[in-house]
Structure 1
């Protein structure tokens, strides 16, 4: 299925005071240990399906890249939403995490990592040129670049909802 391409320049408007950015991934340190690598990798699709089907989870959207080191970039309403998902006994996160810690942690076959950032809306700058919906614009609101948002300096420092007002 072809994705709609938005010709021209667009930016993202998170329409909130702040945004939580969560990066998570795994690295196949010993790629020949296919079973261990596949076992860790298999947990993520179930988590993403759960989050997509649970709008109250607070995950706004994500992008994912695969390779020896995989990366999942996700956007969340708040760090509290992210922590709640991670600790929820009914979510599909705790069981795979406990299994990893019991069976693989410290062996070095597969590495896992994450980074979390709480970003104020005034600290966000994004531009998409000739792209389908992607990244923050896909997770929040994709708006055309217009008066007051032509340069990175103008886009950086806008209040929440500022891109929408600038484009209109």
Structure 2
């Protein structure tokens, strides 16, 4: 189990940030030959991205169910797009294989959502948590001083003190 940090922490990143949600849904469980190759492709991509940081990948959190969900953090939209189109990377062959094998047959669904976050237009808080999410991807800093309240973390000058649990 990961080490729990009892201190209130937040994450800070300079510049743009891209939040990329991606996953798959098995629509016909009995068609293992259709969905298993799709399920096996993503871990290969994550391994590649985790060892080759020059792609601009910052980190990932994963949840498994149906549908699956991967929450990814990227340095920029351009970095994400460059990786997606890179002929020598894992993604493009996997995407082509999906389209050949599954296409629009409906046996397996894939999805993604991309959010471009401007500098400072995010806030996060972690309390009694191991490193997680954006803090795990970019590094955690104490949520103190101007980072003590949500308004302060999101960069508003008129930062109000946070509510205490007794209020």
Once the 2 structures are TM-superposed, how far is the Cα of residue 158 of structure 1 from its aligned partner? 5.8
Deviations 1:91-115 (A, max 9, x none): 0111110011112011111000111
Once the 2 structures are TM-superposed, how far is the Cα of residue 35 of structure 1 from its aligned partner? 2.4
Match for residue 165 of structure 1? none
Report the secondary structure of 1:4's partner residue: coil
1:4 paired with 2:22, answer no
- The structure richer in strand per residue is 1
1:120 paired with 2:118, answer yes
Q: Distance in 2 between matches of 1:19 and 1:158?
A: 18
Matches within 5 A, 1:106-145: 106-145=104-143
Report the secondary structure of 1:115's partner residue: strand
Q: List runs of 5+ in structure 1 lacking aligned partners.
A: 160-168
Note if contact 2:34-2:101 (Cα within 8 Å) is conserved in structure 1.
no
CA RMSD across the alignment: 1.4
Provide runs of 4+ in structure 1 moved above 4 Å. none
Match for residue 51 of structure 1? 49
Match for residue 101 of structure 2? 103
Match for residue 161 of structure 2? none
Match for residue 152 of structure 1? 150
Deviations 1:36-77 (A, max 9, x none): 221110001111111111121100111111111011111111
Report the secondary structure of 2:3's partner residue: coil
Q: Distance in 2 between matches of 1:7 and 1:34?
A: 43
TM-score (norm 2): 0.89
Match for residue 86 of structure 1? 84
2:71 pairs, out of 64, 73, 98, with 73
